[in-house]
Amino acid sequence: MDRSVKIAPSILSADFADFGREIEAIEAQGADWVHVDVMDGHFVPNLTFGPPAVKAFRKHVRTVMDVHLMIAPVDPYIDAFAEAGADIITAHLEAGPHIHRTLQAIRATGKKAGVALNPGTPAESVEHLLDLTDLVCVMTVNPGFGGQKFIDMTDKVRRLRAMIGDRPVHIEIDGGVDPTTAPRLVQAGADVLVAGSAVFRGGSVQNPEPYGQNIRAIRAAAEGAGGARVA
């Protein structure tokens, strides 16, 4: 599997009146994946978009649509997000008592299954899920908002990397990622970097070059840390 560094801009930091062109702009500027943050005002204290919006985004995504569900319960909505065109559906371990069943249900739709961990949840909590999952998302902020202060989870990433071994499981980092925070996480074994404010700052649909500069700055910092070579 591809363990090179992948940058996944979060459209939570995009212009909410112009998602289609924002997605096209970040992809043209070098995004590897597009990260979509779904919030329900219950599991997290913020509201974003549901399956019809995600389906509308799909028409503009040419890379990988990475859908991060911050909702509880999850299971009743899995089919709707699969039908909306998600490539990866990630559910929170803390969103219900049956994450194992949730991951099985995501895989049953033919989509890749991710499990996300809040900052307070230990790496060991996914030990018995690793054969059922394609991605572990390590939250480096408390989920709910973009632009929050980074919480260092390097040790958790290192433990996960050792636990994953040869399995084809991505480690994704979400929250407060920028050129200063990314290197240590990639060095510890992460390969997917979600970034909202650090990608969208300074740019716009009319002026997308800063998106490209921001993406290249994160990638260069991460690869400089040895990320491209982490096997």
Least Å distance, CB 52 to ligand DX5, is: 20
Number of residues that bind ligand DX5 (CB under 6 A): 21
Other C-beta atoms closer than 10 Å to the C-beta of 213 total: 14
Half-sphere exposure of 203 (CA within 13 A, CB side): 24
Per CB under 6 A, 146 contacts ligand DX5: yes
Q: What's the min distance (Å) between Cβ of 88 and Zn ion?
A: 11
Angle at alpha carbon of residue 12, lines to 219 and 94, rounded to 5°: 95
Residue closer to ligand DX5, measured from CB, 23 or 231: 23
Per-residue interface string for the shown chain with Zn ion, residues 156-175, x marking contact by CB under 5 A = ------------------x-
Min dist. Cβ of residue 74 to ligand DX5 (A): 15
Edge to edge, what strands does the sheet with 112-117 contain?
6-9, 192-195, 170-174, 135-139, 112-117, 88-92, 65-70, 34-39
Asked, as a colleague might, if the bond just before 97 is cis with ω within 30 of 0, I would say: no
Please count the helices (runs of H) and the strands (runs of E) in the chain. 8, 8
Smallest distance from ligand DX5 to CB 39, Å: 7
Question: Which entry of ligand DX5, Zn ion, none binds 198, CB below 5 to 8 A by partner kind?
Answer: ligand DX5
Determine which residue in the list 51, 114, 144, 227 makes contact with ligand DX5, applying CB under 6 A.
Answer: 144
| Chosen residue from 32, 37, 134, 172 binding ligand DX5 by CB under 6 A | 37
> Is residue 36 a contact partner of residue 61, using CB atoms and an 8 Å limit?
no
Q: How far is the CB of 220 from ligand DX5 (least distance, A)?
A: 17
Q: Annotated catalytic sites, by residue?
A: 37, 174
Residues 64-103 that bind Zn ion (CB under 5 A): 68
As a whole number of angstroms, the distance between CA 66 and CA 10 comes to: 9
Dist. CA 173–CA 175, nearest whole Å: 7
148 binds ligand DX5 per the rule CB under 6 A: yes
Two tokens, residue 145: 């908002």
Crossing angle of helices 19-28 and 209-224, in 10° steps, is: 50
Does position 174 bind ligand DX5 by CB under 6 A?
yes
171, 191 Cβ separation under 8 angstroms: yes
- Binding-site partner at residue 161 among ligand DX5, Zn ion, none, CB < 5 to 8 Å by type: none
Q: Could you list the residues that contact ligand DX5 (CB under 6 A)?
A: 10, 12-13, 35, 37, 68, 141, 143-144, 146-148, 174-177, 194-198
Q: Could you list the residues that contact Zn ion (CB under 5 A)?
A: 37, 68, 174
